[in-house]
Amino acid sequence: MLEIKNLHAKVTEQDKEILKGISLNVKPGEVHAIMGPNGSGKSTLANVLAGRQDYEVTQGEVIYQGHDLFPLAPEERAQQGIFLAFQYPVEIPGVNNVYLLKAAVNAGRKARGEKELDAMDFLTFIKEKLALVKMDNSFLSRAVNEGFSGGEKKRNEVLQMAALEPKLAILDETDSGLDIDALKIVADGVNKLRNPNRAFIIITHYQRLLDYIVPDYVHVLSGGRIVRSGDSKLALELEETGYINDSNSASANA
């Protein structure tokens, strides 16, 4: 589904490379956890995959569903099934949550040549998804993320993910800052969305999340490279020993 080959990237208009040759293969149904210290390039990887303009790819390629990913605009990537759950979800005053959700869902449907959902059908559709993240209807009429608590923002990301039904979901530190109850709700939502056709890349700083979402693979990112890969046991090991092999301590934009 996703093949990352020797990916190098830097912040636009800056010289320093943050990703220094990442290679990773993700197949449908798999859950890959990417761990690593602050500044190792985890969030850069997520943002490059989603198409954020602040980063520039300097080398390497990414093949998504058999095609080069990079010519696609961010919205085209989203329409083709890539979803990024933001580390810092953006507050958008004046835009209703339900407006965003419906515009997003219908943009995807339109791109796939499916019929757009009308207001009534959409409401039925979204109410099922709300239950998944234990949110009530009042979330729909609030402005996007405005005045949301940290936990609410992350649940809102999972709600959007549930609504958009992506093929590849990238969770960028979705667990950071969550208390254990909020973490369980988020993890529970993600687990319910796991299926044989959907892949996840879960970026996290903390092993704790992986107690609830058990990954197929764990990779350790350090200094812009994957320095270790293993199965879910690797996460437990890291919990005890810390991030070893952190040979390159140069800080990068996490």
Partner 1 sequence: MSIVTVESYINEHKDIKNKLAGSQHNWLQAARDNALQSFAKLGYPDKKVENWKYTRVTPIAKQHLPILLTHSEHYEKNKVVSLVKAMPDCHCMVFINGYFSTELSLLSGLPDNVIVCDFLTATEQHSELLKKHLQQDAATSDSFLAFNTAFMHCGAFIHVPANTQIEKPIQLLFICTPEANTHTINLRNVLIAETQSKVNFIENYLAITDDSYFVNTVSNLILEQNAHLTHIKLQNESRQAFHIGTVNAQQAADSHFHSHSFARGGALVRSDTNTSLNAAGAHCTMNGLFIAQGKQHIDHHTCIEHKHSHCSSREYYRGILAEQAHGVFNGRVVVAKDAQKTDAVQENKNLLLSDSAEIDTKPQLEIYADDVKCAHGATVGQLDKRALFYLQARGINIEQATKILTYAFAKEIIERIDFAPVREQCENLLLDTYKIDTTQEETHES
Min dist CB 128 to partner 1, Å, is 14
Compute the least distance from the CB of residue 79 to partner 1, in Å: 5
Where do contacts with partner 1 occur on this chain (CB under 8 A)?
50-53, 73-75, 77-79, 83-84, 86, 89-90, 92-96, 98-100, 102-104, 106-108, 111, 118-119, 122-123, 137-138, 140-141, 160, 164
Q: How far is the CB of 201 from partner 1 (least distance, A)?
A: 15
Residue 229 Cβ, how far from partner 1 at the closest point, in Å? Answer: 27
Both tokens assigned to 60:
């390497």
In angstroms, the CA 190 to CA 186 distance is 6
Nearer to partner 1, 139 or 217 (CB): 139
3-state SS assignment for residue 101 = helix
Provide the pairing of β-strand 55-64 with 67-68: antiparallel
In the complex with partner 1, the residue whose CB is nearer, 99 or 212, is: 99
Find the shortest distance in angstroms from Cβ 97 to partner 1: 10
User: Among 173, 213, 219, 171, which residue's Cα sits nearest to residue 194?
Assistant: 213
State which residue, 9 or 226, has the beta carbon closest to partner 1.
9
Of 78 and 187, which CB lies nearer to partner 1 in the complex structure? 78
- Cα dist from 210 to 8, 35, 153, 204, 225, whole Å: 27, 10, 20, 9, 21
Cβ proximity to partner 1, 136 vs 240, nearer residue: 136
- Inter-CA distances, 66 with 57, 61, 69, 168, 195, Å: 19, 12, 9, 14, 20
Of the candidates 10, 80, 23, the one whose C-alpha atom is nearest the C-alpha of residue 52 is 10
Instruction: Indicate the residue type of 98.
Output: V
